Amino acid sequence: MSRVTVPRRDLLAAVLVLAVLWVPPITTAGDWGRICAGIVLAALTGAALVFNRRAPVAATAAVAVTTLAGAAAGVCQDPMLATAWCLYLVAVERGPRARTLVIALVGVLAGLAAVTGVSPGLGTRLVVATAALCSAWLVGTAVGRQVASARESERMRVQLKVAREVHDVVGHTLGVIAAEAGVTRGLPDVPEAELRETLADIESHARDALEEMQGLVHTLRNPGPALSGLPAIIATTRAAGVAVHARVEPHGPVDAEVGAAVVRIAQEALSNVVRHAPRARCTVELWEAQETIALRVHDGGAPGTTPASPGAGHGLRGMRERAAALGGTVVWGGTAEGGFEVEARLPMRRS
């Protein structure tokens, strides 16, 4: 059986409203009929205030009705403050969608306040009620817009993260598969044993990509492969026919998110080598420099190929976005020898 929890601020608001605005006029009502009516109305008001987060619209309507009924019976001195408290939550959730209705309501209240201003008691109460309701709605609407904006930003962040992960995993694997298939097809009279070995490699790469995709679908909170996954990426690239020379300096433990970013950036850079310069020699360097971890992927270019232009493609932009999210940088460009180089630097953030 679930336990019903009540926010302390709602409970405190209910106690203050009842103690200050209901109890004094009820105790001085004079006859038992008005006292009993005041007690019932006060109980309903308190219950609506306590549970207003479960049904904000119903709670607002209920408090407004009990407040007006209590004021008419002379057992309530609340100038719609309790109603404004409940209205705030309605504004947070539904403010932008109910603007016309609220403007009309505020206009009616303002008109009543102006007309009855000659009566000090009623006029003052209407002015206070109008101010309380308008303030609650305006503040609640502003907060609601901020909440909606934050939710949209988070949704876009998650969507962009998923897009980058899918691009890195699928793009790298398909590039390796295409390279292996192309090399095998280009060889005349391929022996059956070599053909079977190539098909086995393609199957293995496809299964690995499928497993990574399944892991990504099941848990978006997983930052990705740790830095220890870099050798596997390099080995996969070598299997595609690229001569990769790795120089990885010893380093201490690295934050999992930073390590995942390094691996993904290396994966995308090596994928570009497989796609654009499959016959080039490639160097992968990883080292520490002044509390940062640095990665450089450099290829010498291949005859008859054109290096990717700076800023082209989703993969290069994804590298920059991934690094920027962690406070790092990624730069790339062609070299004088006709090759291409990617260099990333990210804060170490020891784990």
Q: What is the reported pLDDT for 117?
A: 46
Element (H, E) at 285: strand 281-288
Under the banding of pLDDT at 50, 70 and 90, the label for residue 153 is confident
Helix, strand, or coil (residue 241) = coil
Q: What is the model's pLDDT at position 56?
A: 87
Residue 130: φ, ψ to 5°: -60, -45
Query: Which residue matches tokens 């490639």?
Result: 282
Distance from CA of residue 106 to its chain's centroid?
35
- Name the more confident of 272 and 160: 272
Contacts (Cβ under 8 Å, ≥6 apart) of 82? 13, 17, 21, 45, 49, 63, 67
Angle of helix 81-94 versus helix 120-186 axis, rounded to 10: 20
102-116, 172-186, 206-220, 298-312: least confidently modelled range: 102-116
**Which one, of 131, 148, 155, lies nearest residue 95 by Cα?**
148
Give the separation between CA 271 and CA 265, rounded to whole angstroms.
10
Q: Model confidence over 44-98: pLDDT tens digits? A: 999 999 988 888 888 988 998 999 888 888 899 888 899 999 988 888 887 766 5
pTM listed for this prediction: 0.49
